[in-house]
């Protein structure tokens, strides 16, 4: 019923109101003083707790601010408080160049603990506000450098590439790169200021346990290791590489079957074997070995050729073992060309291995050993944009200038120019042809044919080779 509020009810309301504590001015001052004293005490306590050096957590340490922002506030000293509060705004990362013609890729939304810590921008009217300015090496040639007057001293100019040096600096005109220009490097080299590599971080079972990570299972059905085609399957379409891997494969092929598919194959059937856009995993897994060598053999340069196929039931063959040292992969899980003195020695090893099932299976024993890949971009295992964002938050970074970024990248990468196939030069004309004369693939096949007696077919192929155009830019 909609009865109007009774008198008694109204009286009760008024009494309740009157019972509310009413503070006299003197009480307000006293309470305020108590609260202020309490806050001061808490502040003093925290100053003591937070002053025990850079390992105390929060943004004082070299660690990223992974704790709540409350924690950040509590570790700052008084006289630096104002600037710290400003720093809690996200760091601004400016894309001066696109990344392979696109501005869309970079993000930190998938970096645990850093999701809101950095933002990306490429609106040039906001260049001055950037904390870091990114230059993607392969796009720099189209875009050029920003006007010098737009640069501020606190900004970090970051030279970034995931390509090997030979593919980073292609078509660079002289003078494009100025000396003493960049502050940081961001490359697959572990010695970069910001590591930017393919794939993840391998950990042994022990390391994973220490970190408290859930252990991976890479267990393999033993039956998947039987009935392998006794050959190395190589899917390649860049037929003239700086590492001269084509020469190495040719040389190896004299001693152990190397089946080349893709654009560098020599029969139409093999050219069509694994069309672009298909994974080819099933095909590759039929073979005892597959070739995972990079088109350029450089320190720390390990692309998806390894990472996307490391779980297949076949053994990857790589170029130089040392290039994989920092990747910390299970050492038995790959076979490297430079494990052997000569292509003949390697051929013999592979021939013996396909005959000895137990020895072959031994290369897969790591799968039962608890090897684990660190969870994506967790602290200590950050990579790429996550690592850049984290590094921008690290405290007390000294100013840094890189005198010659190209020289640095080329020197540190110490890419192979084919030296590991030089051994075969002395005896092998095909090797000489590939390594020394940069012969066309068809010429090499022809020479092989001539050497094995198929003279006419060989000569026809040499003629054909001058007509064919080659696909050299493909990355496989
Ligand atoms: C090499 O292996 C392939 C299978 O991938 C086979 O078709 C080819 O006949 C073999 N070549 C030689 C010379 O045995
Ligand atoms: C970045 O490099 C420039 C140019 O060499 C230099 O003047 C500046 O101090 C450096 N800044 C930082 C933060 O390292």
Q: With respect to residue 408, please indicate whether it lies within any of the assigned structural domains.
A: no
Q: What is the mean pLDDT of residues 12-39?
A: 50
pLDDT band at 358 (very low <50, low <70, confident <90, very high): very high
User: Best of 183, 388, 395, 398 to mutate for ligand 2, by most ligand atoms within 8 A of CB?
Assistant: 183
Write down which residue in 8, 38, 59 finishes a domain. 59
For residue 247, what pLDDT is reported? 82
Q: With respect to residue 385, please indicate whether it lies within any of the assigned structural domains.
A: no
For residue 356, what is the domain's CATH number?
Answer: 3.40.50.11660
Write down which residue in 141, 160, 195 finishes a domain. 195
Among 65-69, 352-356, 402-406, which is the least confidently predicted range? 65-69
Q: With respect to residue 434, please indicate whether it lies within any of the assigned structural domains.
A: yes
Looking at the fold, whether 295 and 357 belong to one and the same domain comes out as: yes
Looking at the fold, whether 129 and 211 belong to one and the same domain comes out as: no
Q: What is the mean pLDDT of residues 261-279?
A: 89
Q: What is the mean pLDDT of residues 10-14?
A: 38
Looking at the fold, whether 103 and 138 belong to one and the same domain comes out as: yes
Write down which residue in 341, 357, 373 finishes a domain. 373
How far is ligand 1, taken at its centre, from the CA of residue 229, in Å? 9
For residue 147, what pLDDT is reported? 93
Q: Does residue 460 have a pLDDT over 50? A: yes
Looking at the fold, whether 40 and 122 belong to one and the same domain comes out as: no
For residue 239, what pLDDT is reported? 85
Q: With respect to residue 17, please indicate whether it lies within any of the assigned structural domains.
A: no
Q: With respect to residue 381, please indicate whether it lies within any of the assigned structural domains.
A: no
- Closest residue by Cα to atom 12, ligand 2, is 399
Looking at the fold, whether 213 and 156 belong to one and the same domain comes out as: no
Q: How many domains does the chain have?
A: 4
User: In degrees, to the nearest 5, what angle opens at C-alpha 285 toward C-alphas 281 and 287?
Assistant: 135
Looking at the fold, whether 67 and 46 belong to one and the same domain comes out as: no
pLDDT single digits (tens) 116-173? 999 999 999 999 999 999 999 999 999 999 999 999 999 999 999 999 999 999 999 9
pLDDT band at 266 (very low <50, low <70, confident <90, very high): confident
pTM of the model: 0.74
Q: Does residue 365 have a pLDDT over 70? A: yes
Looking at the fold, whether 357 and 210 belong to one and the same domain comes out as: yes
For residue 279 and ligand 2, the question of a CB distance below 6 A is answered with no
Looking at the fold, whether 182 and 216 belong to one and the same domain comes out as: no
Q: What is the mean pLDDT of residues 219-239?
A: 92
Angle between helices 441-451 and 245-253 (to 10 degrees): 20
- Closest residue by Cα to atom 10, ligand 1, is 257
User: Sheet of 229-235: strands edge to edge?
Assistant: 258-261, 229-235, 287-291, 315-318, 335-336
Cα dist from 212 to 203, 205, 375, whole Å: 12, 10, 11
Looking at the fold, whether 153 and 210 belong to one and the same domain comes out as: no
Q: What is the mean pLDDT of residues 55-67?
A: 35
Q: Does residue 225 have a pLDDT over 50? A: yes
For residues 58 and 72, the answer to whether their CB atoms sit within 8 Å is yes
Looking at the fold, whether 75 and 182 belong to one and the same domain comes out as: yes
**Parent domain of 50:** 28-59
Q: With respect to residue 392, please indicate whether it lies within any of the assigned structural domains.
A: no
Strand partners, 372: 203
Looking at the fold, whether 154 and 227 belong to one and the same domain comes out as: no
Among 55-64, 87-96, 315-324, 372-381, which is the least confidently predicted range? 55-64
Looking at the fold, whether 124 and 221 belong to one and the same domain comes out as: no
Q: Does residue 473 have a pLDDT over 90? A: no
Strand partners, 184: 158
For residue 41, what pLDDT is reported? 61
pLDDT single digits (tens) 182-224? 999 999 999 999 999 999 999 999 999 999 999 999 989 989 9
Q: Does residue 410 have a pLDDT over 60? A: yes
For residue 270 and ligand 1, the question of a CB distance below 6 A is answered with no
Q: With respect to residue 9, please indicate whether it lies within any of the assigned structural domains.
A: no
Q: With respect to residue 1, please indicate whether it lies within any of the assigned structural domains.
A: no
For residue 450, what pLDDT is reported? 56
User: In degrees, to the nearest 5, what angle opens at C-alpha 172 toward C-alphas 167 and 178?
Assistant: 115
What mean pLDDT is reported for the chain? 79
User: Best of 257, 258, 347 to mutate for ligand 1, by most ligand atoms within 8 A of CB?
Assistant: 257
Q: Does residue 22 have a pLDDT over 50? A: no
For residues 317 and 290, the answer to whether their CB atoms sit within 8 Å is yes
């Amino acid at each position: 019923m909609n009865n109007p509020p009774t008198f008694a009810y109204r009286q009760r309301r008024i009494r309740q109101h009157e019972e509310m504590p009413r503070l006299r001015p003197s009480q307000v001052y006293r309470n305020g003083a108590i609260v202020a004293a309490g806050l001061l005490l808490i502040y003093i306590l925290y100053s003591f707790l937070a002053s025990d050096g850079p390992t105390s957590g929060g943004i004082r340490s070299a660690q990223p601010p992974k704790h709540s922002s409350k924690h950040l506030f509590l570790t700052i000293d008084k006289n630096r408080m104002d600037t710290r509060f400003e720093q809690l705004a996200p760091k601004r990362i400016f894309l001066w160049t696109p990344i392979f013609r696109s501005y869309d890729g970079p993000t930190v939304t998938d970096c645990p603990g850093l999701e809101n810590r950095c933002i990306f921008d490429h609106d040039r009217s906001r260049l001055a506000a950037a904390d870091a300015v990114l230059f993607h090496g392969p796009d720099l040639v189209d875009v050029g450098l920003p006007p010098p007057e737009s640069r501020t001293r606190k900004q970090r100019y970051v030279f970034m590439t995931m390509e090997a040096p030979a593919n980073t600096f292609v078509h660079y005109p002289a003078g494009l790169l100025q000396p003493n220009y960049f502050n940081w490097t961001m490359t697959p080299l572990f010695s970069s200021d910001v590591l930017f590599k393919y794939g993840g971080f391998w950990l042994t079972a022990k390391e994973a346990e220490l970190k408290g990570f859930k252990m991976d299972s890479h267990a393999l059905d033993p039956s998947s290791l039987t009935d392998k085609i006794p050959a190395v399957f190589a899917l390649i379409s860049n037929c003239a590489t700086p590492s001269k891997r084509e020469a190495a494969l040719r040389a190896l092929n004299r001693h152990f079957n190397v089946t080349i598919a893709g654009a560098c194959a020599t029969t139409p059937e093999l050219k069509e074997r694994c069309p672009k856009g298909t994974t080819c995993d099933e095909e590759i897994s039929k073979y005892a070995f597959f070739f995972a060598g990079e088109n350029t053999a450089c320190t720390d340069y390990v692309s998806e050729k390894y990472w996307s196929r490391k779980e297949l039931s076949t053994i990857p063959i790589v170029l130089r073992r040392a290039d994989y040292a920092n990747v910390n992969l299970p050492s038995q899980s790959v076979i490297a060309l430079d494990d052997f003195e000569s292509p003949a020695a390697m051929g013999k090893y592979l021939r013996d291995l396909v005959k000895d099932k137990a020895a072959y299976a031994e290369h897969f024993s790591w799968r039962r050993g608890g090897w684990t890949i660190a969870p994506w971009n967790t602290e200590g295992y950050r990579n790429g944009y996550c690592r850049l964002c984290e590094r921008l938050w690290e405290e007390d970074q000294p100013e840094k200038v890189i005198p010659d970024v190209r020289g640095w990248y080329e020197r540190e990468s110490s890419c192979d120019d084919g030296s590991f196939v030089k051994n075969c030069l002395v005896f092998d004309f095909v090797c000489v042809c590939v390594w020394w004369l940069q012969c066309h693939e068809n010429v090499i096949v022809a020479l092989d044919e001539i050497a094995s007696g198929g003279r006419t077919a060989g000569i026809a192929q040499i003629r054909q080779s001058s007509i064919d155009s080659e696909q050299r830019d493909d990355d496989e």
